[in-house]
Structure 1
Amino acid sequence: MNILITGATGFLGGHLADACLREGHTVRALVRQGSDTARLRSLPGLDLAVGDLGDPASLRAAAEGQDVVLHSAARVVDRGTYAQFHEANVAGTRHLLTAARAAGAHRFVFVSSPSALMRVREGDRLGLDESVPYPTRFLHPYSATKARAEQNVLAAHTPEFTTCALRPRGIWGIRDHAGFLPTLIGAMHAGRLPDLSGGKRVLVSLCHSDNAVDACLRAATAPAERVGGKAYFVADDEVTDLWPFLTRVGAALGCAPPTPRIPLAAGRALAATLETLWRLRPATSRKSAPPLSRYSLALLTRSTTYDTTAARRDLGYAPPRTQRAGLAELLPWIHSLGGPQPWSHPTTPHTPHPQQGTPTR
């Protein structure tokens, strides 16, 4: 097939490009002007289309002649106004949908996120399936705009134009320099990561990049009558106890465990305070996210796991990569870079533009 991939200069999108080429597909990658395309240019047979999700004309040119669109690009950073998130995640996806449909593409696979279901206030939720409704109030602009974009994608399904969405959570693996794992282990290595668990078990579903890629490729070819207009949770087989997992990975890289332990109530108050202070700063000085936000705290303290029965049934999804095998590949790769510091703070820019990469979901 002819496949257009967005976000290919980022983590998941780059792995998608590799996998599609391995399977013999013709791949075109949408890249922003000025983005780092050195790795993509080294891939034989990959075509680069310079464009932007905010530029419909460039999207029409990129989509010309493509059978399938794998839309991985998004604004995923933990900072920015609602308007910025809307422009990248909602308007950008709408522009790409329009371009793909006009170009005659027959399949549109949207990389969404379980964060699209993240409410302002909720406790632990285990074994969630696709029957869970969208919230009426969202915890973060990322959640709100991913939900709106996902709804638009699913509503665009027709017999001639199959659309579906995948919801991987906590994507991890080699070549990730900006996601949750390098960010947290980098902070742990610097002695700046407290234990925010409050002493409770935080059970989560994660998704290795190989497993997310496998689901995307299956969604690109699954029978239209089975997947059209539907969203699917995608996750590793294992349920992960988050804080012991972080401690174990950190220990393998010479990091001391997270400390001190912060009670949950104190963590919530701290996150609310830091978020408020950050918002009071001039917009020009908000080049980084607040040290802790209510959204990031929720990701680190709420137990949330996902039932992948629907993906197994409709996509034939069976995670090809176990957590043990993923770590057996990841840890030597980190050591080959020089350890946690160059992994999480590379001297060569690896962090993609907010609209092109997928550092976390």
Structure 2
Amino acid sequence: MDDISPTRLLLGALAAVLAIGILWVGKLNATLKKTPPEVLAVSPHRWTEAEMRAVYDRIRAKPVDWASHLPPRATLAGGGDRRYIITGGSGGVGGTIVLHLLARGHPPEALRIVDFRPPDRPELTTGAVARVDFVRADITSATGTTAAFDAPWPAAVRDLPLTVFHTAAVISHADRSMITYERVRGVNVDGVRHVLDAARAAGASVFVSTSSASVAYRPVEYWGNPLRRWPRNYWQAIDEADFARPLRPHPQFFGNYAYSKAVAERIIAEANAPGFRTGIVRPANGIYGTTSTTDQIVGYCLRVGTFPSWIRNIIQNFVHAGNVSLGHLAFEAALLQDDRNGNMPKCAGQAFTVTDDGPPTMFDDVYNLLKVIVATPPIKVIYLQPGLMLVLAYVVELFDLASRLPVVGRIVPRPQGSLAMLQPAIFSASTNHIATDTAARRSVEDGGIAYRPLVSTMEGVCQQVLDWNIEHGK
């Protein structure tokens, strides 16, 4: 028998490794297409077509009335006459807060939007909201932020107490390397410091900031023990328990965005004081319902009509932008209350998760609702294989990081557009997260903010689809 050459041995070893890799990816792909029974137990009911049509018809007959469910202005300290600065007020959550403040009866001259771009959402450019003051500012600049806060107010409101709603942020779920951390730190950490300093200097007494429930997410270990039934952290219970613990190291967050938000939360909590009360709102999962032109969840599906997905079986809590705004306004009302001894309420300096009403939602439920209810364009979902997309995500990340190196970056192209978002961190962000808003729903006396979401996810999506259908004439 001839001796086996080293080349043949090497090729055989490579073939074996390749075969094992293919088998491993195949097993993982089959696993990722399933929903763990522990998660299904929390959300066992799938939306039926009859339910979808019934809820849509009810919403069409009586659209969601956010104005009547806002914390009443008259219940705020001093009778509710206040000034408001909304950083990021041109965006989804910030713009919704602006609309809710006007609906509650605050005059336009008592509001100011501080953002790097003026409002362009249709609902923010007509009517009373068009008279709201806009000051352009880059919050990565301390002097620019201070100047925006120090701009003069109309005489009728300049002496009113001031509340600041800080909603500005850089949202980038794909990045997880410290090489790219500077992209989010400038706005999400340094910007928070600048806004806090400017708010204190301007005499603000209440400061409520938008964070994210993703602060509590742990990275999913997709390539751990191949004999495990599920990848580690494939489903997670999300609450605010991490906020009371020391800050985790960067690698224990799903990505740079969550880490930057966690760092910012500590800064905001440390700033809390009797004369400058702070609070943090953590919207669960992504936020939908802002507008069909900017919303990157439901609005994105409506805009493109045909879109890919590999997470149809994933269950998460959704949260409508209107419910997020309710969380901010409820937090403000809570912070303006003193306890029986005249001290700050227990919620001051704390973080609270907010979600839609009802159980968490499977993505396929939302897809099916869009297919049934949307008038035009017809909704079509291209279902992709999650295991293959995960492997591709590592390739995209490798190119992205290599393109940032001093020498290699000259020859390696950087992924652009939607492809740049396809990186491993996205998979940890879009796994099964079961969030709870129990703490936020507690009364102020019991340490909560008396949060009451107005809509469930089915109701919220139906309202957004109704607006879309009306806009498109059907």
- Work out whether residues 247 and 258 of structure 1, in 8 Å CA contact, stay in contact via their aligned partners in 2: no
- Alignment counterpart, residue 167 of structure 2, candidates 72, 88, 104: 72
TM-score scaled by length of structure 1: 0.82
TM-score scaled by length of structure 2: 0.64
- Alignment counterpart, residue 231 of structure 1, candidates 346, 351, 354: 351
Give the corresponding residue for 2:136: 50
Give the corresponding residue for 2:398: 276
Compared CA separation, residues 331 and 18, structure 1 to 2 (3 A): same
Hey, what's the Cα distance between the residues in 1 that align with 2:259 and 2:239? Answer: 19
- Alignment counterpart, residue 293 of structure 1, candidates 418, 423, 431: 423
Q: Percent identity?
A: 24
- Alignment counterpart, residue 192 of structure 2, candidates 84, 87, 93: 93
Greater Cα offset, 309-318 or 133-142: 133-142
Greater Cα offset, 114-123 or 226-235: 114-123
Give the corresponding residue for 2:280: 165
Partner-residue secondary structure (3-state), 1:228:
coil
Deviation at 1:16, TM superposition (A): 0.7
- Work out whether residues 194 and 258 of structure 1, in 8 Å CA contact, stay in contact via their aligned partners in 2: yes
Give the corresponding residue for 1:306: 435
Compared CA separation, residues 15 and 73, structure 1 to 2 (3 A): same
Q: In the alignment, residue 173 of structure 1 is paired with which amino acid?
A: G
Give the corresponding residue for 1:117: 216
Greater Cα offset, 18-27 or 237-246: 237-246
Q: In the alignment, residue 291 of structure 2 is paired with which amino acid?
A: R
- Work out whether residues 139 and 187 of structure 2, in 8 Å CA contact, stay in contact via their aligned partners in 1: yes
Deviations 1:55-98 (A, max 9, x none): 22332233346611101110013467211210010000110001
Partner-residue secondary structure (3-state), 1:153:
helix
Hey, what's the Cα distance between the residues in 2 that align with 1:194 and 1:321? Answer: 25
Partner-residue secondary structure (3-state), 1:142:
helix
Hey, what's the Cα distance between the residues in 2 that align with 1:60 and 1:10? Answer: 20
**Aligned: 1:214 with 2:335:** no
Deviations 1:253-279 (A, max 9, x none): 32234324x1x5433322212222233
Deviation at 1:216, TM superposition (A): 0.5
Q: In the alignment, residue 255 of structure 1 is paired with which amino acid?
A: I
Hey, what's the Cα distance between the residues in 2 that align with 1:267 and 1:285? Answer: 18
Give the corresponding residue for 1:347: none
Give the corresponding residue for 1:142: 257
Corresponding pairs, count:
331
Deviation at 1:123, TM superposition (A): 1.4
Which protein, 1 or 2, shows the higher relative CO under an 8 Å CA cutoff with sep ≥ 6? 1
Give the corresponding residue for 1:107: 206
**Aligned: 1:323 with 2:438:** no
- Work out whether residues 9 and 31 of structure 1, in 8 Å CA contact, stay in contact via their aligned partners in 2: yes
Give the corresponding residue for 1:131: 241
- Work out whether residues 205 and 277 of structure 2, in 8 Å CA contact, stay in contact via their aligned partners in 1: yes
- Work out whether residues 247 and 257 of structure 1, in 8 Å CA contact, stay in contact via their aligned partners in 2: no
- Work out whether residues 251 and 257 of structure 1, in 8 Å CA contact, stay in contact via their aligned partners in 2: no
Deviation at 1:164, TM superposition (A): 1.0
- Work out whether residues 79 and 288 of structure 1, in 8 Å CA contact, stay in contact via their aligned partners in 2: no
Compared CA separation, residues 152 and 211, structure 1 to 2 (3 A): same
Deviation at 1:331, TM superposition (A): 1.0
Compared CA separation, residues 10 and 129, structure 1 to 2 (3 A): same
Deviations 1:30-59 (A, max 9, x none): 022667487645315412222220222332
Compared CA separation, residues 73 and 305, structure 1 to 2 (3 A): same
Compared CA separation, residues 111 and 320, structure 1 to 2 (3 A): same
Greater Cα offset, 246-255 or 149-158: 246-255
- Work out whether residues 185 and 246 of structure 1, in 8 Å CA contact, stay in contact via their aligned partners in 2: no
1:243-282 aligned at under 5 Å gives the runs: 243-253=364-374, 254-260=378-384, 262=385, 264-281=386-403
Deviation at 1:186, TM superposition (A): 5.2
- Alignment counterpart, residue 148 of structure 2, candidates 58, 62, 66: 62
Hey, what's the Cα distance between the residues in 2 that align with 1:52 and 1:211? Answer: 27
Q: In the alignment, residue 469 of structure 2 is paired with which amino acid?
A: H
Hey, what's the Cα distance between the residues in 1 that align with 2:236 and 2:401? Answer: 33
- Alignment counterpart, residue 240 of structure 1, candidates 361, 366, 374: 361
Give the corresponding residue for 2:116: 32
Compared CA separation, residues 266 and 146, structure 1 to 2 (3 A): same
Hey, what's the Cα distance between the residues in 2 that align with 1:135 and 1:268? Answer: 25
Compared CA separation, residues 186 and 251, structure 1 to 2 (3 A): farther
Give the corresponding residue for 1:346: none
- Please list every run of 5 or more consecutive structure 1 residues that lacks an aligned counterpart in the other structure: 340-361
Compared CA separation, residues 89 and 21, structure 1 to 2 (3 A): same
Compared CA separation, residues 101 and 325, structure 1 to 2 (3 A): same
1:334-353 aligned at under 5 Å gives the runs: 334-338=468-472
Deviation at 1:226, TM superposition (A): 2.4
